[in-house]
Amino acid sequence: MTKRCLITIYYAVISNYGRFATEIMLLKPLLTFLLLTYMATIAGAINNGILEEFALPEWEAREPLRPLRVAPGFFDWADEKPEMIDEGYSIGGRCLLDHLEQMLCDFRCAKYPAAGDLRRVMPTKHGIWKAHAPALRIYGWFCAPRRFVVVVVAGALEEETKKDKTMNSAKLDEVRSFIAENDLGKTVLRGDHRAIIQAKI
């Protein structure tokens, strides 16, 4: 049985936790192995400079609950966009770069990140997601079951996605190309919000 088949079974099971509690316990060793495989692949990408760990800014008082991995090109995109620090694009007295940094901090530190700000990019079979920050769109994928561990690859201004209806598809292709070029396909977590976010207790 392939890893893809096993992961598919896993998602079917966690979607019906109450009915399959015994099966979940039996699958736990296997799921742990798969998770370690994901993390080993991500660790290799970090060691090779393909991905970077997002370091929390000094002003963030919360303790990190999970890692956040970012493609270096994403930071280049943010640095090269003049709108990110343009006061004319500010929202609530904060520039777009501030809003972006806040979202990335929440990815690492929020106990229950806002699921309403997340959308799967069509077609959903590729496992690519976009996050909605104020006036921004962030694209990437999740790589750990129920732990909200995200890899951020690309970004766009909200107004760009409204003016260019092909923008989301272009960003989907950008993320997929990044995954393929760096042999990270095994780290892509498929499923809906229930697969990536731990249920509230």
- Token digits for 29? 């060793």
Residue 17 lies in a domain: no
pLDDT for 1: 46
Domain membership flag for residue 160: yes
Q: 126 with 78: CB under 8 angstroms?
A: no
pTM of the model: 0.77
Q: Count of alpha carbons within 13 Å of 18, Cβ hemisphere only? A: 1
**Is residue 81 included in any domain, yes or no?**
yes
Please compute the mean of the pLDDT values over residues 143-151 and round it to a whole number: 79
pLDDT digits (tens, 9 = 90+) for 8-25: 455 555 455 455 555 556
Which DSSP category does 160 fall into? H
The CATH number that applies at residue 123 is: 3.30.2310.20
Tens of pLDDT, residues 86-117 = 999 999 999 999 999 999 999 999 887 765 58
What is the per-residue pLDDT for 201? Answer: 44
In a domain? residue 25: no
Structural domains of the chain, count: 1
In a domain, 22, yes or no: no
The tokens of 126 are what?
């590729």
How does residue 3 score in pLDDT terms, banded at 50, 70 and 90? Answer: very low
Query: Tens of pLDDT along 23-37?
Result: 556 555 544 444 444
> Is 186 domain-assigned?
yes
Nearest of 70, 135, 147, 128 to residue 100 by alpha carbon: 135
CB atoms within 10 A of CB 78: 19
